[in-house]
Structure 1
Amino acid sequence: MTDAEYDPSGEQAVSNELAGVLPVDFVAFHSQNHLAYLEYAHVKLGSAEAAEAVVDDVFTFLLEVWPDALQEASLNAFAWAQLREHVERYRAQQEVPAALVDTARYAALRQGSRRRLELVESKTGVYEAIASLPDRHYDVVLLTFLIGLETPQVAQLMGIEPGTVRSHLYTARRKLAAKIQLNWIPGEGKDL
């Protein structure tokens, strides 16, 4: 399978053999987050193989520190921070450029909402503008617009409140609109 054909069509569950020896709450956490982590890593890295390797490393690390991770104020926020760190470390080691535009997920989004993106694509610097957003704003934009998650899903995944997701989206849209000189009217909903 090539990167252009990457389609995580189902959640990868922990095998039955391992499920019997792993902590039940870890297996549930893995099942709940694995696909979204893969999609995020793939968008950031541009490679299905790299995404799988990084996400496997993240879950291996989480399993190693699982009792301590459960003591964190927010398990989801802790795990999300680990995912971001592992992705960035991989990108630095491999000298991977920002893969936002080159991924199959972006291609699918582009085809699915071509009319909406034509205006955005005509403005120079949109990709650079997205890449220049602060980390949390960038993640919220990526998860919402490129991966297609709804606000409650983004909040759960990142370990933050839905209101915080909405606030990050609002601020990110304002910043992006200013950077690419796009007329955006607050209250337009999820669309860019």
Structure 2
Amino acid sequence: MPPATNGAQDVGDRGLPHSPDLPERRLALTFDAFDARHHTLWLRYAHTQVGGRAAAETVVDTTCARLLEHWPHVLAQESVARYAWAILKEEVARWLYEHDLQPVLVDTAAFHAAIRKLLLYETRDQFAVLQGEIGLYAAIDRLPERQYDVIVLRYVLHVPDEDVAAYMGIEVATVRSHVRHARRRLAKDLDVRGTETGE
């Protein structure tokens, strides 16, 4: 069963009103427009979790099928983007469970660059030591779910704070708070001394 939502409506989705007599073709057009706006990011996020393009496409196709099947119900939610994000995450979790896998961040270069920026390392030597001796993936994986999503969306996929907030159904200030807490937690987990934790 799709999760209930109760957050603020995403500005980009306000043009999607629902009424009982909305013709089927118009419903399909609103879905196509919504999908066109979000599909690429969904694919990129799924790819970071399931480890391959084909698997990511399967996850997103299943997500889209679920959304389209219940599209009038989806349109009735306070935030269509947040509701769709929850469905995407359910499908990612289902795919990983069915394949007995854990989430992976497959674009290693992008991930390491994101972590470097995230923790604001002072020297390359320090980062090289961390790369060689500490499981960065494991450190990220140990973050609470919301901090994990914020870090992946903001630093790996380069999604603006406002869009991260819309996807997750939280305020922009909360996105930034999650970043600060994630920085502190990662710095402690990786034993990084002198790491700056400001924005």
Instruction: Give the deviation of 1:90 after TM superposition.
Output: 0.3
In structure 1, stretches of 5+ residues that fail to align are 1-19
Tell me the equivalent position of 2:89: 84
Q: 1:52 to 1:141 in 2, by over 3 A?
A: same
2:134 pairs with 1:124: yes
Tell me the equivalent position of 1:133: 143
Secondary structure of 2:158's counterpart equals coil
- For residues 149-173 of structure 1, give each alpha carbon's deviation from its aligned partner in whole angstroms, at most 9, with x where no partner exists: 2212222333332112111111111
Q: Percent identity?
A: 37
Tell me the equivalent position of 2:108: 106
Q: Whose relative contact order is higher, 1 or 2, with alpha carbons under 8 Å and at least 6 apart?
A: 2
Instruction: Give the deviation of 1:86 after TM superposition.
Output: 0.4
User: Contact conserved, 2:27 with 2:72, CA < 8 A, in 1?
Assistant: no
Tell me the equivalent position of 1:162: 172
Tell me the equivalent position of 1:66: 71
How far apart are the structure 2 equivalents of 1:82 and 1:43?
A: 16
Aligned-residue CA RMSD (Å): 2.4
TM-score under structure 2 normalisation?
A: 0.74
Instruction: Give the deviation of 1:95 after TM superposition.
Output: 1.2
Secondary structure of 1:33's counterpart equals helix
How far apart are the structure 2 equivalents of 1:120 and 1:149?
A: 26
How far apart are the structure 2 equivalents of 1:23 and 1:34?
A: 15
How far apart are the structure 1 equivalents of 2:29 and 2:43?
A: 21
In structure 2, stretches of 5+ residues that fail to align are 1-24, 118-123
